[in-house]
């Protein structure tokens, strides 16, 4: 069964090779349960890691799985406390093994699709509310994609540092709202209500 899983994993990685050249190392595949291998893959599909780092992550994930199994055995339904402990174990695994650059790549990878979806909703709402043009819509999408993405990354990175998180979130939003205003004169408030300070035209120079 493990050999079948290995073949499927390698085949799938080959199909997606154009997007992500890295697969789970064979050493990890041969040494751990398929569920552990899958968890490692869900990390390296967003950031490239050496075989040594993959192996270290797999060892930590095994510990998480052991805790999970024991918690389910005792609680039947995972308690909030146990879930919090598991989340903390995963954060510690990532922060202790990945470099800051690798961690940022991973957090951006797992947050990008949701940030894109949320930014598209804001753009579409502003197009309707403000009769925003195509280029204005592009500006709105770009700023809010950055806001949502960087905010999600910050929430993951600074989950245990609420003051630092608050400062980061404030700075992310202020910076992007300033950029949006400078590009097209649009201001969007906390309730996602938009107003214009000046009308953008295709030949308007950036301020």
- Whether residue 201 lies inside any domain: the answer is no
Environment class of 178 (CB within 10 Å of its CB; exposed 0-12, middle 13-18, buried 19+): exposed
Own/partner pairs, 85-89, CB within 8 angstroms, 24+ separation: 89/60, 89/63, 89/64
Residues 34 and 79 in one domain: yes
Can you give the pTM of this predicted structure? 0.79
- Whether residue 51 lies inside any domain: the answer is yes
Residues 20 and 90 in one domain: yes
Residues 18 and 65 in one domain: yes
- Whether residue 202 lies inside any domain: the answer is no
Of 195, 151, 194, residue with least CA distance to 173: 151
Read off the pLDDT band of 205 (50, 70, 90).
Answer: low
Report the pLDDT value the prediction gives residue 206, as an integer from 0 to 100: 54
194 DSSP β-pair partners: 188
Of 63, 66, 56, residue with least CA distance to 95: 56
71, 98, 125: which is the final residue of a domain? 98
Read off the pLDDT band of 10 (50, 70, 90).
Answer: very low
Q: How many domains does the chain have?
A: 2
- Whether residue 204 lies inside any domain: the answer is no
- Whether residue 161 lies inside any domain: the answer is yes
Q: Quick check: 156 and 88 in contact, CB under 8 A? A: no
Sign of CA dihedral 72, 74, 80, 85: negative
- Whether residue 104 lies inside any domain: the answer is no
Q: Report the b/e string of 34-65 with b at 16+ CB within 10 A.
A: eebbebbbebbbbbebeeebbbbbbebbbebb
pLDDT digits (tens, 9 = 90+) for 83-98: 999 999 999 999 999 9
Residues 68 and 156 in one domain: no
Domain span including residue 159: 111-196
Q: Quick check: 7 and 37 in contact, CB under 8 A? A: no
Residues 26 and 90 in one domain: yes
41, 73, 98: which is the final residue of a domain? 98
Residues 141 and 186 in one domain: yes
187 DSSP β-pair partners: 195
Q: Which two tokens stand for residue 96?
A: 């202790």
Environment class of 113 (CB within 10 Å of its CB; exposed 0-12, middle 13-18, buried 19+): exposed
pLDDT digits (tens, 9 = 90+) for 151-188: 999 999 998 899 999 999 999 999 999 999 999 899 99
Residues 92 and 118 in one domain: no
Is residue 11 over pLDDT 70?
no
- Give the pLDDT mean for 30-46: 94
Q: How many CB atoms lie within 10 A of CB 180?
A: 22
- Give the pLDDT mean for 23-48: 94
Residues 35 and 60 in one domain: yes
- Give the pLDDT mean for 120-148: 94
How many whole angstroms separate alpha carbon 83 and alpha carbon 105? 25
């Amino acid at each position: 069964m493990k050999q079948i899983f290995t073949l499927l994993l390698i085949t799938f990685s080959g199909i997606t090779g154009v997007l992500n050249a890295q697969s789970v190392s064979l050493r990890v595949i041969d040494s751990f349960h398929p569920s552990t291998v899958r968890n490692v893959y869900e990390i390296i599909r967003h950031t490239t890691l050496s075989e040594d780092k993959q192996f270290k992550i797999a060892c930590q994930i095994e510990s998480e799985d052991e805790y999970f199994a024991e918690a389910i055995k005792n609680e039947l339904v995972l308690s909030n406390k146990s879930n919090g402990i598991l989340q903390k174990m995963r954060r510690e695994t990532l922060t202790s093994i990945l470099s800051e650059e690798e961690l940022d790549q991973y957090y951006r990878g797992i947050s990008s699709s949701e940030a894109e979806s949320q930014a598209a909703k804001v753009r579409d709402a502003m197009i309707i509310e403000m009769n925003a043009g195509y280029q204005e819509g592009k500006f709105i999408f770009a700023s809010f994609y950055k806001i949502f993405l960087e905010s999600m990354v910050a929430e993951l990175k600074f989950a245990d540092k609420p003051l630092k998180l608050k400062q980061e979130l404030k700075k992310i939003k202020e910076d992007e709202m300033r950029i949006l205003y400078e590009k097209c004169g649009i201001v969007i408030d906390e309730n996602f209500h938009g107003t214009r300070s000046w009308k953008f035209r295709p030949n308007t120079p950036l301020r």
